[in-house]
Amino acid sequence: MMRTVSKLVIVVIVVVVGTVFVAGPAFAETDAVSSATSGTATRNLYLSNCARCHGADGQGDTESGRLYDVPDISGGRLRRKSSAKLTTVVMRGGKSMPAFSKKLTRKQIASIVGYIRGL
């Protein structure tokens, strides 16, 4: 009886260690891929929610941008403003800018804020 149990324990250990060993590099690859796509995902979020007014480059040189007198947020202009302040602007919106607190998650807003500070 004791023998069967210890054999079972050894089998379990071999399977677990083997799985980690084989799957380890695969996990590492998935991580690299997902962080690469998350940059693209953030850019897509910006393009689908913000670019119609602010423009793909942040200069606000769009039809809506001119209509609403959108400020230029490109060229590192937002780097001087704190992420906290920019997060509030995006969540609450402004005079002509819509609020995004219900449309986007806090995580999505945080990534967009990081993205626009680098425009």
116 lies in the site for ligand HEC, by CB under 6 A: yes
Binding test (CB under 6 A) with ligand HEC, winner from 54, 55, 111, 119: 54
Contact partners, residue 105, CB within 8 Å, separation at least 6: none
Give the x-and-dash track for 94-113 against ligand HEC (CB under 6 A): xxxxx-x-----------x-
Which residue, among 95, 94, 69, 85, has the nearest Cα to 117 in the 3D structure?
85
Find the radius of gyration of the CA atoms of the chain. Answer: 24
Task: Name the nearest CA neighbour of 54 among 39, 69, 65.
Answer: 65
Nearer to ligand HEC among residue 22 and residue 84 (C-beta)? 84
- Tokens (6 digits) for 69: 């007198």
Which range of residues in 3-11, 13-21, 24-32, 45-53 is near ligand HEC by CB under 6 A? 45-53
DSSP state, 1? -
Q: How far is the CB of 70 from ligand HEC (least distance, A)?
A: 5
Give contact residues for ligand HEC (rule: CB under 6 A). 49-50, 52-54, 64, 68, 70-71, 73, 78, 81, 86, 89-90, 94-98, 100, 112, 116
